[in-house]
Amino acid sequence: MELGSIQTVALKELFPGEATHFTPWLAQNLEMLGKKLGMDLELESTEASAGDFSADIVARDLSTNKLVVIENQYGGTDHKHLGQLITYASVLGAGAVVWIAETMRPEHKSAMDFLNQNLKESLGFYAVEASAIRIDESKPALVLTVISMPSEASVVPDISPEPSEAKERYRTYFQSLIDELRETHKFTNARTGQPQNWYTFASENSKVYRYSTSFAQGGRVRVEVYIDCGDKAKNEQIFDCLLQHKEEIEAALRCELSWERLESRRACRIAVYRDGDIDADSETLADIKNWTIQNLLKFKAVFPAKFQQCG
């Protein structure tokens, strides 16, 4: 068997400028970074204003709704960029910061580890080394290696007003749900269940719509497509267009949907419901999880093409 040889490629060969080439490319390919970090990242802005300074990339982790500040750097890490990250996080109210460099100096890895150990749930620090390789004359490939990150126990925000026992039930349920969605179905990058009664997932165009599941009021479980492009009139226009294809969509999904225009809100919702709540026995919760997964997968198979028609 003839094997190829791995060759290292300088990042500047792929992206001549960090600010002019690498940052714009990464902003359009956040899923690659999200897979490494266990996040469903949606781009908010590039060169985002943070007082008198600007952050390279600001994204949102849809699974936690936290802002994520991403700072890129060619070469080895330095004190200046560490200070910038902390400044950007404080000004923008970020829940996580990501420092990407070609080489993470041991002192800066130690600093990131120290911050993760002592800040606990309030802010997560991620250190990522970026490199590029090719095998013989193949196309080059970008390699992202996580050097430092919070432990899973420290990235769960205490955001729910529910008693701690209820929080733990939600966390346990959603941990099992996202693990199966990620490992078996490649549906999400998320890794950590949250102590809340809902979970949101990225879509093919998360700026327009997202997938979500929740334990809704009245003892019901919901799987939905949540339409929100930031403009109420546009949301309603998309919703009305999809509604015109109601019979076709419901036939493809093999279920009757709840079409909710949500007149008092900016967003619109298309959902399917079943009975159930988090206090159910383990057998019922397992059935709810399977029902949720089946419907999320069906939604993902049917809705993207319909949104393209109505976009």
* CA distances to 38, 41, 103, 235, 254 from 130, in Å: 17, 18, 8, 38, 45
Residue 65: its pLDDT value, please? 83
Same domain, 176 and 139: no
Domain contains 159: no
Same domain, 82 and 205: no
Residue 4: its pLDDT value, please? 83
Same domain, 120 and 174: no
Into how many domains does the chain fold?
Answer: 2
Same domain, 21 and 144: yes
Same domain, 126 and 177: no
* CA distances to 1, 36, 134, 275 from 139, in Å: 21, 21, 6, 51
Checking phi first, is residue 112 left (phi over 0); if not, alpha (psi -120 to 50) or beta? alpha
Closest Cα partner for 14 from 28, 26, 4? Answer: 26
Residue 147: its pLDDT value, please? 94
Question: Across the strands, what pairs with 141?
Answer: 133
Domain boundary among 123, 154, 185: 154
- Average pLDDT per run of 10 along the chain, which is 311 residues long? 86 92 94 91 90 90 89 94 91 94 94 86 89 90 92 47 76 95 94 89 92 92 95 95 96 96 91 95 96 97 95 72
**What CATH number is associated with residue 243?**
3.30.1460
CA 253 to chain centre: 25
Residue 159: its pLDDT value, please? 44
Buried-state track 226-245, b at ≥16 Cβ within 10 A, e below 16: bbbbeeeeebbbbbeebbee
Sign of CA dihedral 24, 28, 33, 34: positive
Report the C-alpha gap between 249 and 251 in whole angstroms.
5
Same domain, 27 and 139: yes
Residue 120: its pLDDT value, please? 62
Report the C-alpha gap between 108 and 135 in whole angstroms.
31
Residue 158: its pLDDT value, please? 42
Domain contains 216: yes
Report the C-alpha gap between 39 and 41 in whole angstroms.
6
Buried-state track 95-116, b at ≥16 Cβ within 10 A, e below 16: bbbbbbbbebeeebbebbbebb
Residue 156: its pLDDT value, please? 44
Domain that holds residue 299: 164-310
DSSP letters of 86-135?
Answer: HHHHHHHT-SEEEEEEEE--HHHHHHHHHHHHHHTTS-EEEEEEEEEEEE
Same domain, 298 and 182: yes
**What CATH number is associated with residue 23?**
3.40.1350.10
Residue 152: its pLDDT value, please? 54
Same domain, 139 and 182: no
User: Tokens 């949606």, residue?
Assistant: 42
* CA distances to 50, 70, 105 from 56, in Å: 10, 6, 21
Residue 80 phi, psi dihedral angles, 5° rounding: -60, -50
Residue 121: its pLDDT value, please? 66
Domain contains 1: no
Residues 300 and 211: beta-carbon distance below 8 Å: yes
Same domain, 53 and 183: no
Residue 157: its pLDDT value, please? 45
Report the C-alpha gap between 112 and 99 in whole angstroms.
9
